[in-house]
Structure 1
Amino acid sequence: MASRDTGFPRADAEHDFLRARRRQVLSRLSTWLRGEPDDVNIMLPFSEVVDALGWAGERRIGLRVIPLESIVGSVDRSRDFDRRFRPTSGRVRQRWERLALASRRGESIPPIEVYRIGELHFVIDGHHRVSVAHAMGLTTIEAQVVEVRTTLDPSGIRYRGDLIVKDYRRLFLERVPLVGQARASVLVTEPWDYAELGEHVEAWGFRLMQDENRFLDRATVAARWYAEEYVPVVRMLNQADLIGERTEAEAYMWVAGERYRLIRTHRWDDEVIEAVRQRRR
């Protein structure tokens, strides 16, 4: 909703700030009443996102017009604004109203500065300008953009809690360096499942090296586990209609655990799948 205009820019700027503060408080109250996690209203800290995804490089791409909705985080001001850049207290009021007044008077406002990760943007400088732009009902803003490349794909990040899953996945892929389709297809939803799956693959690789009486590096173990263990098992699980609502990797972990409990062996065949199916009933 666009800001109101009474014809008195200074008074309107003050009202803009009070309205933005009121919306921030109401949003917190609504979150509490719905029983949603606290992090839905918290902007994403840039450092935590980079730590979770893994920094791989950066490049300056210059002035761009970016959607306000794509600005989800901050380098260092996450305590002063919420996820939609509404002020969280009166600390920023004086500067906020000064910028709102300048905007209402049509004065030139310099571009903000942001980091870009995937389609997400994180403010380096210009938090108040972003907040005022939201309050004015704008949908885009000019920004000097530095693009950051990360080890993991940043897609799927919505809230701070999503970073935990990304962080565990990054650690899993350091232990099990899958590539290509294998990397894209082995996915779980619970962070700790990545740790358990990593342990499983390493144990599988250790048994493989014992069987072949030679050392294999992590990349070789990962590729062979995917081709010789994971893909055949997932194929059988799909044929037996045992995936359900899980991801394929979650179904694999479940049936691998059942296999060991049922018959104390690491072989895979129709007899094992049937035994697991019977146990499921």
Structure 2
Amino acid sequence: MRSRSSGSPRVDAEHDFLRARRRQVLSRLAMWLRGEPDDVNITLPFDEVVEALGRVGERRIGLRVIRLDSIVGSVDRGRDFDRRFRPTSARVRQRWERLAQASRRGEHIPPIDVYRVGDLHFVIDGHHRVSVAYALGLTTIEANVTLVKTKVDPSGIRHRGDLIVKGYRRLFLERVPLRGEARAAVVMTKSEDYAQLGEHVEAWGFRLMQDEGALLDRETVAQRWYTEEFEPVVQMLHQADLVGDRTEAEAYLLVASERYRLIRTHRWDDDVIKAVRDRRS
């Protein structure tokens, strides 16, 4: 919904800013009352995001119209605005109100500059313009876009805490370089599980090389683990109703760890499943 006008751009801009500040304060209060972590309502730092995901390269794709709600972070101005680009203090007021007045008078506002990572956008230049656009009820904005390619898919990132899981996933995929369908299938929700699974796959690969008397590279070990170990075991876990509400990778890791701890073996058979089921019941 677009902001109402009193007929005076200056007065309206002042009211716009005060309303945006009030909403930011109320949002922080609501978060505190709900007991939510502090990082839920802050803009995502671009450098931390691309470090967690693994930066591959970038290319300019030019002027685009992007949705405001796809803008989730900032290159270097995170402290001045919250996740919805509401001002966090009066420090930005003077410039903010000048832009709001210009917008209300219908003057041309230059495009902002952003990085695009997946479906997410991070402001390089134009933080005040984004904030004013939000305050005036707009849903889109013009932006000069630079596309950044990363090793790990950025989908699922909502706040800063999610970067920890993404970072561990990137490290796991460097240790276990799965490709295609296998890469998409092996997913964890807890960061520490990626580290444990990586160790498990490397141990499996070591035993494989001992059995075959041959040195295998990481890509070969990863693919053979997925096809010879992960897929058959996950199919068996589904048949035994041992996946539940976990991801398949989480179910695999849980049962594989329990298997060895209980029976001290790396084999898979009905006795293993029975022992694990008895332990989990």
Q: TM-score, normalised by structure 2?
A: 0.98
Q: Quote the residue 1:214 is aligned against.
A: 214
AA aligned opposite 2:141: I
Structure 1 segments of 4+ aligned residues over 3 angstroms from their partners: none
Q: Quote the residue 1:258 is aligned against.
A: 258
Q: How far does residue 38 in structure 1 lie from its aligned partner after superposition?
A: 1.4
Q: How far does residue 111 in structure 1 lie from its aligned partner after superposition?
A: 0.5
Rounded Cα–Cα distance in structure 2 between residues aligned with 1:51 and 1:256: 31
3-state secondary structure, aligned to 2:249: helix
Q: Quote the residue 1:130 is aligned against.
A: 130
Q: How far does residue 101 in structure 1 lie from its aligned partner after superposition?
A: 0.8
| Matches for 1:5-154 after TM superposition, within 5 Å | 5-154=5-154
Q: How far does residue 139 in structure 1 lie from its aligned partner after superposition?
A: 0.6
3-state secondary structure, aligned to 2:79: coil
Instruction: Structure 1 unaligned segments of length 5 or more: list them.
Output: none
Q: Quote the residue 1:229 is aligned against.
A: 229
Rounded Cα–Cα distance in structure 2 between residues aligned with 1:261 and 1:17: 61
Rounded Cα–Cα distance in structure 2 between residues aligned with 1:261 and 1:199: 15
3-state secondary structure, aligned to 1:83: coil
Rounded Cα–Cα distance in structure 1 between residues aligned with 2:261 and 2:53: 35
Q: Quote the residue 1:168 is aligned against.
A: 168
Q: Quote the residue 1:275 is aligned against.
A: 275
Q: Quote the residue 1:191 is aligned against.
A: 191
AA aligned opposite 1:151: K
Q: CA RMSD in A?
A: 0.9
Rounded Cα–Cα distance in structure 1 between residues aligned with 2:258 and 2:147: 45
Identical aligned residues as a percent:
79
Q: How far does residue 236 in structure 1 lie from its aligned partner after superposition?
A: 0.6
Q: Quote the residue 2:246 is aligned against.
A: 246
Q: TM-score, normalised by structure 1?
A: 0.98
Please give the per-residue CA displacement for 1:242-279, whole angstroms capped at 9, x wherever unaligned. Answer: 10111111111111111112110101112211221122
Rounded Cα–Cα distance in structure 1 between residues aligned with 2:128 and 2:83: 13
AA aligned opposite 1:253: L
Q: How far does residue 44 in structure 1 lie from its aligned partner after superposition?
A: 0.7
Rounded Cα–Cα distance in structure 1 between residues aligned with 2:274 and 2:82: 52
